[in-house]
């Protein structure tokens, strides 16, 4: 057997230290660790891991380059398929993607830590100044709406093909969920800024303060550009719909995280305020719930995370759940809020009911049902609701010709082609809330289809 | 001219300034009743302001700002030629009074800035509205000349009687209705207690009333849910569903409570701005 048997853990800031700062938790492999982990790759003839990668990174090849000490080549290999490897290496749920298919997974000491290696290579690329290569614009013009992972990935592939790309961002800063949603301690904002800079260096124009559907209309973009990609994400937060939800001190995870991440409210000097509860209850168990819980912890709170199903059904990445537990986040599983309690308009607690798992529901997971008479109160002065998001209705309302599902997601085929000619869509705006890497995969597929269409009509 | 440059700044009353901002993209689709979100500088917070006028030809948008907190105080320090970090919009939905013929516009304090473009537009459409505008005193009464020009009848009212009649806007609204004036709708904009008082009054007469809400916002595009208010028992987002709602259905108590959410932190910011320590 090649290499060490057991998968190498990535060094991390100790929990007792990191709950007092917003610096990155996972510290990345050292060169020695990266080499040792790369040695574990069996370089399969038929690499199953690649099946799990939505953007098709040639995984055994880049790992082989690491083994050979050819880090520049490893970086170029990754960059040829993945436009945001430093982001993916940090936030991809690899255990459900590439690493899920790794032949070593259970019997041979655990899957190769592909994500950790990707991050190592991406950080080397940044340090060595290896960037995606710019191609002179060939005359075709595309607009990309939104600057989150789907849009960034789409824009990069278009630019690599010589399309002149203009991106439209509604907020004052580009990066979408990578800047407003995912916290600094999981994805440093410098890394996102660097990816956006790389795009600019490739000739992509990034416009901020432009709300498509308000500041500029989709039909105007279709008139001005040869094709348009919509990657506006799933921005609208869902709430619990229980009594007391509009008390001061109850916020969506989107609001809480936007204040802290985008508006830097974790710095005391920030002009933007954020609630700083002493006892915070977070509702939900996805990645966003973990982000909110761990952020509240760093702002000094005791945090309880409430989830109506059991641990096995938690949608968050395993690593995030583990990190949250290490940081002292208390989990109240099989528990559902029924009311938020308050006095004088402020939160004083959350009334919950215990749940048990019944028959499987539409999602295939066992449906949680309330246990009668099991109500109890959790004392808290802040509640953060992280129950997922739905697509933002602004685009749809301003452009009714675009077909959407009853849930509000944009209807499109597997290449992102919508009901409107020359208009593509992908990411959460099309699928509903999902992951960064799936959004990137969608952006990439749309870019490919857009390039084909531009070539077919002689614009490229 | 640079994007988001201040074209002019004019003092309209004590601590009330009118700013005209060069923002051609915003001006192009702007309509009365919509709002913008601005940041004064790169470290600034995002704060919403209702548009009170615009010029597509000049590429400008006009807002009226009362100095009440940290960001508005920073704004007050800017002068013509200075540049805002961000100025995004037009957000929210435009005012739609197209279904009504006889219209009464009621403005309280800075809220008069929101009814002013309506008065102007309705006059242009040949269905000039009656306008009631209230303020604490003469010095705070804004856009008097403009209202006189565009209103069918204009009724200024001040708390202390220093201009127009003495009293509250509700006194005038009640008198107008009682004197037999027939209105199809009232459009009332001002501080929450004022809008609540007007709605309470018009409810007695089953007179439809539209109000414009101005809650705390972050993104202003439906992403954060911070601006949620309860309307007829349903939760609405002022940024994408509003900012205008059926005033008889709005839960004003809740809206007032939510507006106080960051009061303590705002005061701390103000102390810092004034160089005081706490």
Output the pTM of the full model: 0.92
* A248 to B85: CB separation less than 8 angstroms, yes or no: no
Classify B167 in phi/psi space as left (phi over 0), alpha (psi -120 to 50) or beta.
left
Fold type of domain A239-387: FAD/NAD(P)-binding domain (3.50.50)
Domain at A15-128, CATH homologous superfamily: Alpha-helical ferredoxin (1.10.1060.10)
Of the partner residues A254, A258, A271, the one whose CB lies closest to the CB of residue B70: A271
Closest CA–CA distance from residue B232 to any residue of chain A (Å) = 14
**pLDDT for A195 beyond 50:** yes
Contact (CB, 8 A) for B85 and B4: yes
Residue in B43, B223, B230, B268 to test binding to A, most A beta-carbons within 10 Å: B223
- The single residue listed with the structure tokens 């601006």 is B227
* A271 to B43: CB separation less than 8 angstroms, yes or no: yes
Q: What is the pLDDT of residues A22-52, one digit of tens each?
A: 999 999 999 999 999 999 999 999 999 999 9
Residues of chain B positioned with their CB less than 8 A from the CB of A235: 221-223
* A258 to B223: CB separation less than 8 angstroms, yes or no: yes
Domains B6-91 and B103-212 share a fold: no
pLDDT of residue A442: 92
Residues of chain A positioned with their CB less than 8 A from the CB of B44: 271
Through-space distance between the first and last CA atoms of chain A, rounded to whole angstroms: 49
> Does A270 lie at the interface with B, CB-CB under 8 angstroms?
yes
> Does A240 lie at the interface with B, CB-CB under 8 angstroms?
no
The residue count of chain B comes to: 278
The per-residue pLDDT of chain A, averaged, comes to: 93
Name the E strands within A75-196: 141-145, 164-168
pLDDT of residue B275: 60
Secondary structure of residue A6 in the 3-state scheme: coil
Of the partner residues A216, A258, A271, the one whose CB lies closest to the CB of residue B44: A271
* A248 to B26: CB separation less than 8 angstroms, yes or no: no
* B45 to A271: CB separation less than 8 angstroms, yes or no: yes
Residue-range domain boundaries for chain A? 15-128, 141-235+390-456, 239-387
Residues of B in CB contact (< 8 Å) with A are 25-26, 29, 39, 43-46, 70-71, 85-91, 218-219, 221-226, 228-230, 235, 237, 240, 254, 257-258, 260-262, 265-266, 269, 272
pLDDT of residue B278: 39
Backbone torsions φ then ψ of A120, nearest 5 degrees: -60, -45
Classify B263 in phi/psi space as left (phi over 0), alpha (psi -120 to 50) or beta.
alpha
Classify A249 in phi/psi space as left (phi over 0), alpha (psi -120 to 50) or beta.
left
pLDDT per residue, tens digit, chain B (278 aa), is 899 999 999 998 888 999 999 999 999 999 989 999 999 999 999 999 999 899 999 999 999 999 888 899 999 999 999 999 999 999 999 998 889 999 999 999 889 988 999 999 999 999 999 999 999 988 888 889 999 999 999 999 999 888 888 999 999 999 999 999 899 999 999 999 999 999 999 999 999 999 999 999 999 999 999 999 999 999 999 999 999 999 999 999 999 999 888 877 777 777 766 665 43
**pLDDT for A294 beyond 50:** yes
pLDDT of residue B277: 44
Residue-range domain boundaries for chain B? 6-91, 103-212
The 3-class SS string of B3-36 reads CCEEEEEEEEECCEEEEEEECHHHHHHCCCCCEE
Residue A364 structure tokens: 């295939």
- CATH code matching the domain that covers A141-235+390-456, chosen among 3.50.50.60, 3.40.50.10070, 2.102.10.10, 3.90.120.10: 3.50.50.60
Contact (CB, 8 A) for A195 and A173: no
| Euclidean distance between CA atoms A253 and A291, whole angstroms | 9
* A237 to B225: CB separation less than 8 angstroms, yes or no: yes
Bridge-partner residues for B244, per DSSP?
Answer: B212
User: How would residue A2 be classed by pLDDT, with cut points 50, 70 and 90?
Assistant: low
Architecture of domain B103-212: 3-Layer(aba) Sandwich (3.40)
Residues of chain B positioned with their CB less than 8 A from the CB of A248: 257-258, 260-261
ipTM of the complex: 0.91
pLDDT of residue B272: 67
> Does A252 lie at the interface with B, CB-CB under 8 angstroms?
yes
Q: What is the pLDDT of residues A260-287, one digit of tens each?
A: 999 988 888 888 888 889 999 999 999 9
Give the number of beta-carbon pairs within 8 Å between A and B: 115
**pLDDT for A410 beyond 60:** yes
- Beta-strand pair B185-189/B209-212: parallel
CATH number assigned to the domain covering B6-91:
2.40.30.10
> Does A30 lie at the interface with B, CB-CB under 8 angstroms?
no
Domains A141-235+390-456 and A239-387 share a fold: yes
* A214 to B44: CB separation less than 8 angstroms, yes or no: no
């Amino acid at each position: 057997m090649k290499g060490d048997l057991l998968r190498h853990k990535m060094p991390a800031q100790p929990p007792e230290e990191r709950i007092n700062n917003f610096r990155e938790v996972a510290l990345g492999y050292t060169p020695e660790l990266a080499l040792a982990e790369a040695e574990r790759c069996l370089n399969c003839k038929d690499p199953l891991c690649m099946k799990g990668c939505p953007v098709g990174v040639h995984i055994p090849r880049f790992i082989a380059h690491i083994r050979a000490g050819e880090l520049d080549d490893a970086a170029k290999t990754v960059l040829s398929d993945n436009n945001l490897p430093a982001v993916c290496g940090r936030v991809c749920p690899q255990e459900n993607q590439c690493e899920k298919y790794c032949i070593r997974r259970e019997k041979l000491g655990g899957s190769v830590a592909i994500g950790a290696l990707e991050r190592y290579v991406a950080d080397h690329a940044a340090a060595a100044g290896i960037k995606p290569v710019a191609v002179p614009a060939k005359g075709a013009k595309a607009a990309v709406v939104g600057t989150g992972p789907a849009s960034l990935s789409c824009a990069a592939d278009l630019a690599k093909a010589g399309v002149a790309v203009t991106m439209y961002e509604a907020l004052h800063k580009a990066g979408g969920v990578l800047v407003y949603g995912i916290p600094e301690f999981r994805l440093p904002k410098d890394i996102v800024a660097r990816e956006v800079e790389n795009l600019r260096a490739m000739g992509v124009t990034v416009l901020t303060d432009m709300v498509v559907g308000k500041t500029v209309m989709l039909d105007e973009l279709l008139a001005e550009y040869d094709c348009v990609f919509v990657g506006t994400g799933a921005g609208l937060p869902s709430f619990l719909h229980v009594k007391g939800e509009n008390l001061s001190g109850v916020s969506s995870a989107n609001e809480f995280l936007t204040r802290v991440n985008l508006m830097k409210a974790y710095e005391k000097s920030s002009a933007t305020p954020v609630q700083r509860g002493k006892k915070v209850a977070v509702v939900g168990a996805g990645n966003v719930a973990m982000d909110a819980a761990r952020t509240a912890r760093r702002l000094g709170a005791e945090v309880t995370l409430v989830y109506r199903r059991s641990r096995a059904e938690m949608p968050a990445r395993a690593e995030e759940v583990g990190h949250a537990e290490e940081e002292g986040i208390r989990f109240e599983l099989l528990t559902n809020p029924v009311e938020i309690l308050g006095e004088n308009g402020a939160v004083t607690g959350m009334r919950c009911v215990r749940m048990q798992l019944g028959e499987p529901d539409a999602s295939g997971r066992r449906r949680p049902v309330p246990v009668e008479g099991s109500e109890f109160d959790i004392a808290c002065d802040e509640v953060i609701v992280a129950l997922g998001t739905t697509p933002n209705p602004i685009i749809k309302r301003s452009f009714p010709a675009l077909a959407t599902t009853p849930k509000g997601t944009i209807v499109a085929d597997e290449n992102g082609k919508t009901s409107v000619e020359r208009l593509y869509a992908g990411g959460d705006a099309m699928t509903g809330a999902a992951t960064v890497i799936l959004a990137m995969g969608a952006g990439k597929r749309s870019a490919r289809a857009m390039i084909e269409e531009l070539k077919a009509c002689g614009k490229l | 001219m640079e994007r988001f440059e201040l074209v002019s700044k004019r003092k309209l009353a004590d601590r009330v300034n009118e700013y005209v901002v060069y923002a051609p993209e915003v001006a192009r689709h702007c309509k009365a009743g919509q709002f913008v979100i601005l940041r004064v500088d790169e470290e600034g917070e995002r704060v919403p302001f209702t548009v009170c006028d615009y010029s597509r030809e000049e590429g400008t948008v006009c807002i009226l700002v009362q100095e009440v907190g940290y960001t508005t105080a920073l704004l007050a320090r800017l002068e013509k030629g200075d540049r805002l970090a961000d100025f995004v919009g037009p957000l929210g939905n435009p005012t739609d009074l197209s279904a009504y013929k006889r219209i009464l516009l009621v403005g309280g304090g800075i809220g008069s800035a929101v009814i002013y473009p309506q008065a102007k537009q309705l006059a242009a459409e040949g269905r000039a509205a009656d306008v009631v505008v209230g303020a604490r005193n003469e010095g705070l009464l804004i856009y008097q000349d403009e209202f006189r020009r565009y209103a069918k009848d204009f009724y200024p009212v001040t708390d202390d009687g220093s201009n127009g009649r003495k009293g509250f806007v509700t006194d005038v609204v009640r008198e107008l209705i009682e004197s037999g004036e027939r209105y199809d709708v009232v459009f009332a904009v001002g501080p929450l207690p004022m809008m609540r008082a007007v709605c309470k009054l018009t409810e007695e007469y089953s007179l439809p009333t539209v109000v414009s809400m101005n809650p705390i916002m972050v993104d202003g595009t439906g992403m954060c849910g911070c601006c949620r208010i309860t309307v007829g028992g349903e939760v609405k987002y002022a940024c994408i569903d509003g900012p205008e709602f059926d005033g008889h259905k709005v839960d004003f108590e809740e809206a007032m409570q939510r507006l106080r959410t960051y009061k303590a932190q705002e005061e701390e910011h103000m102390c810092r701005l004034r160089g005081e320590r706490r």
